[in-house]
């Protein structure tokens, strides 16, 4: 979470720039505000189990981020954390299964599917590739984010643009790629 927060901090400008092309120019700010709050609550509460960390982080994102990405990323982390339970340590495979439950929650909450030009276009392939390695998951997320460029947005604000959403990379898929890159970095 700390590595993710640092990456979001570094890349906030780029995320907002992408959101200014097909959204309302706040994705970087939303992510920044959310992850600053996450780091703060984790430092204060110090949950020990990985599941507890994800639940606390998810809850914080839901309450501190106003945009669509807050409840969506919040649900991702909270549901993933619940799936991990109280275990003091988790394997990569257990984390993959937990994150899969989280991604299912995102799809259920937002009603989107891969191909709709959302964060799911990075999250779904990333979680699948996590079955192989953290490195592969990060690569799959990055490729998934790049693959949103030619897509027509069918969910979220970008969908209001219709055909004009084509040719731009989805901000949420881009932030998802940042999160998986941070995970791979820390797992090394």
Binding site for ligand ADP (CB under 6 A): 19, 23-24, 26-27, 30, 67-69, 72, 106, 110-112, 118-120, 155-157, 170-173
Whichever of 19 and 121 has its CB closer to Mg ion, that residue is 19
Please identify which residue in 7, 23, 56, 118 interacts with Mg ion, judged by CB under 5 A. 23
Residue 155 touches which of ligand ADP, Mg ion, none (CB < 5 to 8 A by kind)? ligand ADP
Picked from ligand ADP, Mg ion, none, the partner binding residue 110 (CB below 5 to 8 A depending on kind) is: ligand ADP
Helix H, strand E, coil C: the string for the chain is CHHHHHHHHHHHHHHHHHHHHHCCCCHHHHHHHHHHHHHHHHHHHCCCCHHHHHHHHHHHHHHHCCCCHHHHHHHHHHHHHHHHCCCCCCCHHHHHHHHHHHHHHHHHHHCCCCCCCCCHHHHHHHHHHCCCCHHHHHHHHHHHHHCCCCCCCCCCHHHHHHHHHCCCCCHHHHHHHHHHHHHHHHHC
- Residues 51-70 contacting Mg ion, CB under 5 A: 67
Interface contacts to Mg ion, rule CB under 5 A: 19, 23-24, 26-27, 67
């Amino acid at each position: 979470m700390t590595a993710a927060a640092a990456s979001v901090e570094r890349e906030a400008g780029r995320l907002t720039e992408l959101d200014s092309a097909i959204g309302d120019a706040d994705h970087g700010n939303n992510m920044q505000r959310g992850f600053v709050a996450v780091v703060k609550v984790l430092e204060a509460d110090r949950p020990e189990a990985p599941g507890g960390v994800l639940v606390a982080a998810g809850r914080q994102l839901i309450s501190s981020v106003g945009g669509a990405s807050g409840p969506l990323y919040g649900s991702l982390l909270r549901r993933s954390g619940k799936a991990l339970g109280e275990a003091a340590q988790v394997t990569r495979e257990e984390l993959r299964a937990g994150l899969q439950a989280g991604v299912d929650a995102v799809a259920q909450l937002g009603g989107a599917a891969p191909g709709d030009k959302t964060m799911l276009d990075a999250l779904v392939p990333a979680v699948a590739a996590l079955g192989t390695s953290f490195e592969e998951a990060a690569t799959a997320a990055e490729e998934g984010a790049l693959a949103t460029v030619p897509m027509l947005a069918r969910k979220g604000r970008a969908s209001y643009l219709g055909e004009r959403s084509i040719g731009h990379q989805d901000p949420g898929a881009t932030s998802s790629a940042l999160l998986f890159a941070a995970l791979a970095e820390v797992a090394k």
